[in-house]
Amino acid sequence: MWFRSLTYVGVALGLATALAAGPAAAQEPDRIFDKSTVWRPLTPNDKLVVYGIDDPAVSGVACWYTQPEKGGIKGTLGIAEDVSDISLACRQTGPIQFKDKLKQGEVVFSERRSLIFKSMQIVRGCDARRNTLIYMVYSDKVIQGSPKNSTSAVPLAPWGTEAAPKCADFMKG
């Protein structure tokens, strides 16, 4: 009987871990630099941290986002809830190559922003009329949504002698 309970707990923990990881959590962002914003004696300062990440489905596009990180005792212990203020900039960094078909609003990157309730996500879409990839970052909560977000656009342009692909040609449905 106790073995069955232990099995259920193991399965529940495994599912929770898989759900927390999310579909786009495989890539770790590169920490580029940080800047202290609030000095705290004897504990780490509050900071703004800049991260960089490559689009996993579109070669030649990278995004950079800045997010606040809490210092102090709660930040040191990892129990401070990070605020939802996140900025985003995405650019073409080389020839554009689509690795697979894309869908509107597909998650490019996701990470947890608090122990249970908040996550940050970068999603991608295609503006076919303007041949531009659109990236949006937002923070959400399970209980209450957050209106704070940031958007960046990457017009698909020729690179060297290679013509610019049409993002509409690589969209599902």
Domain ranges of the chain: 24-170
Provide the greatest CA pair distance for the chain.
68
Asked whether the CA dihedral 129, 133, 137, 140 is positive or negative, the reply is: positive
What pLDDT, in 10s, does the model give residues 67-80? 888 776 666 666 66
Q: Are strands 58-69 and 46-54 parallel, antiparallel or unpaired?
A: antiparallel
The C-alpha atoms of residue 95 and residue 89 are separated, in whole angstroms, by 18
What pLDDT, in 10s, does the model give residues 75-128? 666 666 666 788 999 999 999 999 999 999 999 998 876 666 678 899 999 999
CB 128 within 8 A of CB 40: no
Predicted local confidence at residue 69, as pLDDT: 82
Q: Which helix (H) or strand (E) holds 14?
A: helix 2-21
pTM: 0.76
Predicted local confidence at residue 72, as pLDDT: 66
